[in-house]
Structures are given as C-alpha cells and as structure tokens.
C-alpha cells in the first residue's frame, strides 16, 4: 500500500536493526506508528492485542515470532510454536504458518536454525504478497461482469464489505480488498459500503483509511444498514474475507458476516468470500459448530474508543457499569449462502467437490 507516496507493508524484516517492523493497527486511523518487535512475547502481545490482525497477517507475524524466539534460544521451536498458537484461535493461517515453520526447521542444526527460520519467514512474507495480488486478479473479472450489466443505469458498482480484509489484514493487497483494488485499477468505478464492524470497528478505522489512501469512493455505514441497502437495490455485490473456511465452503469471518449473507440471499445479491488457500481448513468437513469462535473481552463492547475534538485519545463507557456482555468475534456463514470463493488459484463454488480441486 502507498502511504504519503511511499510503499509500506503491514509487516517486514528490517535488516539494519535485525528486527521485525509492523504498523500498530490499534492506533489507526488517528496515528500511523511503526513498532519494532524483537522478542517472542512482543509478537504474542502484538497478535493478542491486535496491533496486527487479519488472518494472513497473523500467520506471517507468527512465523516471525518463531524466528525471534530461535534467535535467542535455538532449541525453542516447539515451545515458541505452542505459545504462538494460543494467541488467537479462529484464523487458521496461524496454525498453517506454524506448521510450515516446524516442518521446515525440525531437522535443522541449532547453529543454523535462526538463519533458516528468517529465510522461511521472508519467503512466507513474499508469497503472501503474490497470493493476495493473485486473489485480486482472480476476482476482478467478477466485478467487471457485474459492472458491464449495470453500467448503463448507475454511476458506480456498489460493493458492501465487512471488517478489514485489505492490505492491513495481510502483508499487502489483502483478500477481498485486493479484488476491489484490482477492479479499480482496471477502470471499474467502484463505490464501497463499509460496515463499521463493531466492536473493534475495523471497517471504520482500517478499511475506510485504506480506501481513502487509494482514493476509492466509499461510505461508512452502521453494521445494521446492510439489509436496508440490499433491499433497496443499493448493493451489487458483497465481498468479504475469511479467517477459516471449511472443506465444504462454510466461511468463518468477522461477527456479522452471516447476517449480511442472509440479507444478500434474501435480496438476490451475490455474496463472495476472497480467501488464500492457506485459510481453507481441509481437516474440517463443515464449519458451522466446528470452527472455534474467539470470544474477546466484554470491555470491547462496553467501551468505545476514539479521539476527542481536541484530538486526544478517549474511551467512553456506553452501558451501565456491570452490564453483562458476551463478545463473539466471528461467525460462520453456511456454504449455501456463498456464491463463490475467490482464491489465488481461481474462483470456486462453495462446495466440497469444487474446493477439493485445490488439494490436487
């Protein structure tokens, strides 16, 4: 992504200081701060505290966590992986990246293991960029086709997205947003309805920020507006990411995604999920009831954070002190509501038979 004319990734390794650098996403859009990660526990804190978030980025960050641990203690491979695996339960990319690190490093001699780990992290980082760009290329023709059928009657192709599945959720490009970026680069006039995405507001704070940096027209809406917009013909397509997709095409994504898919089906609006193959959990035959749904602190619901008119960070309680809360971070959209799954290897039906081809 481009920030003030400079190309920036969500994560990278800085050779000069032998440390991993990330954008602290908890401070966006008000402050753009780059943070150094130097230890395993800093990486775990960054993932748990959502300085980095989004399924692909969580995976890449965890891989770097393994490197930072091995740099200090070459015998810490298993221990580091176990600690990292506990950070967040839903995004399968975390497990995928850790398994890959273990597979690649388990036969290494202690003396070489940290260097090999760093090589592997940099490879995973580079691959993630290529994969996300390929997702964009695979999905853009869908938007082109929709636009061709509507261009005589409207000014924009209206896309609704939920949470942040953009460059900030990966190393660069993102998944669902990569499709939007590619379509826009190819001259399709897109307009994005951005769900605010309570309680952490990734839509309001991250997706809107990314879209404004790219100069793409967008409108922030409350999470409950999607049904109304779809019912009144103001959404041409829903496009979301996924933290884990089951072998049958059930899509787990940020809480509220399921309701958008239901509204899309009821109103004849196509609903696509854009996912790297590493987000597909082929060990899970179905997603409903089997994908672990992260539950986060109730304080994320009872307090809202932002900046004051004087641009000072503030946090305010929005319910009575002591109000009982339960904060589910994700939900599962059943495959039958999903029009298609856009991957780096093409677009697939949300069925076991179709997705199986990805294993060949």
253 contacts ligand MRU (rule: CB under 6 A): yes
- Is 279 within 8 Å of 244 (Cβ atoms)? yes
Provide the minimum distance between the beta carbon of 197 and ligand MRU in the complex, in angstroms, as a whole number: 8
Residue in 94, 169, 342, 350 binding ligand MRU, rule: CB under 6 A: 169
170 contacts ligand MRU (rule: CB under 6 A): yes
Q: Which is nearer to ligand MRU, 114 or 179 (CB)?
A: 179
* Residue number closest to ligand MRU, CB atom: 241
At 202, give phi and psi (nearest 5°).
-60, -30
Q: Which two tokens stand for residue 84?
A: 């990292």
- Among candidates 209, 211, 275, which has minimal Cα distance to 55? 275
Question: Segment contacting ligand MRU (CB under 6 A): 94-102, 106-114, 137-145, 163-171?
Answer: 163-171
Contacts of 28 (CB under 8 A, 6+ apart): 168, 205, 206, 209
Provide the minimum distance between the beta carbon of 87 and ligand MRU in the complex, in angstroms, as a whole number: 11
89 contacts ligand MRU (rule: CB under 6 A): no
202 contacts ligand MRU (rule: CB under 6 A): yes
Q: 164 to each of 77, 181, 253, how far by Cα in Å? A: 31, 13, 10
Provide the minimum distance between the beta carbon of 165 and ligand MRU in the complex, in angstroms, as a whole number: 4
Residue in 136, 174, 203, 340 binding ligand MRU, rule: CB under 6 A: 174
Q: Which is nearer to ligand MRU, 170 or 338 (CB)?
A: 170
User: Which residues are designated catalytic?
Assistant: 243
210 contacts ligand MRU (rule: CB under 6 A): no
Chain positions 4 to 63 lying near ligand MRU, rule: CB under 6 A, are 53-56
Provide the minimum distance between the beta carbon of 191 and ligand MRU in the complex, in angstroms, as a whole number: 20
Q: Which two tokens stand for residue 190?
A: 């897109």
State the angle between helix axes of 110-150 and 176-185 in degrees (0 to 180), rounded to the nearest 10: 60
- Among candidates 166, 339, 111, 342, which has minimal Cα distance to 237? 339
Residue in 329, 332, 350, 355 binding ligand MRU, rule: CB under 6 A: 329
Question: Helices marked H in 186-255 — which ranges?
Answer: 202, 208-214, 226-231
Planar angle of CA 35, 105, 54, nearest 5 degrees = 40
- Strand residue runs (E) in 108-250: 157-161, 190-195, 218-221, 237-240, 244-246
Question: Segment contacting ligand MRU (CB under 6 A): 36-44, 111-119, 166-174, 320-328?
Answer: 166-174
Provide the minimum distance between the beta carbon of 168 and ligand MRU in the complex, in angstroms, as a whole number: 9
230-247 core/surface letters (b: 16 or more CB in 10 A; e: else): beeebbbbbbbbbbbbbb
Q: Which residues bind ligand MRU (CB under 6 A)?
A: 53-56, 91, 163, 165, 169-170, 174-175, 202, 241-243, 253-254, 329
């Amino acid at each position: 992504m481009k920030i003030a004319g400079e190309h920036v990734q969500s994560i990278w390794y800085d050779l000069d200081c032998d440390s991993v650098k990330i954008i602290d996403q908890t401070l966006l859009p008000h402050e753009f701060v780059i943070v150094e990660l130097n230890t395993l526990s800093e990486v775990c804190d960054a993932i748990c505290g959502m300085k980095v978030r989004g399924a692909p980025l969580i995976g890449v960050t965890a891989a770097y966590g393994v490197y930072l641990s091995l740099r200090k203690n070459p015998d810490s491979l298993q221990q580091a992986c176990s600690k990292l695996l506990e950070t967040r339960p839903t995004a399968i990319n975390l497990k995928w990246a850790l398994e890959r690190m273990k597979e690649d490093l388990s036969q290494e001699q202690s003396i070489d293991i940290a260097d090999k780990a760093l090589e592997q992290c940099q490879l995973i980082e580079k691959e993630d960029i290529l994969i996300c760009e390929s997702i964009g290329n695979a999905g853009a023709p869908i938007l082109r086709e929709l636009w061709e059928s509507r261009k005589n009657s409207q000014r924009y192709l209206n896309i609704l997205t939920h949470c942040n599945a953009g460059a900030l959720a990966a190393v660069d490009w993102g998944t669902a947003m990569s499709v939007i970026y590619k379509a826009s680069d190819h001259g399709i006039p897109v307009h994005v309805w951005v769900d605010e995405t309570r309680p952490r507001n990734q839509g309001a704070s991250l997706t809107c920020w990314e879209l404004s940096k790219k100069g793409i027209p967008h409108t922030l809406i409350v999470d409950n507006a999607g049904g109304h917009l779809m019912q009144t013909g103001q959404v041409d397509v829903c496009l979301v990411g996924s933290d884990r997709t089951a072998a049958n095409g059930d899509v787990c994504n940020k809480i509220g995604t399921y309701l958008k898919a239901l509204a899309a089906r009821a109103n004849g609006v196509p609903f696509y999920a854009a996912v790297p193959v590493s987000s597909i959990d082929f060990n899970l035959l179905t997603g409903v009831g089997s994908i672990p749904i992260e539950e986060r602190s109730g304080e994320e619901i009872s307090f809202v954070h932002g900046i004051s008119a004087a641009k000072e960070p503030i946090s305010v309680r929005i319910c009575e002190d002591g109000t009982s809360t339960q904060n589910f971070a994700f939900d599962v959209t059943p495959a039958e509501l999903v029009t298609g799954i856009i991957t780096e290897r093409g677009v697939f039906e949300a069925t076991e038979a179709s997705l199986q081809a990805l294993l060949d």
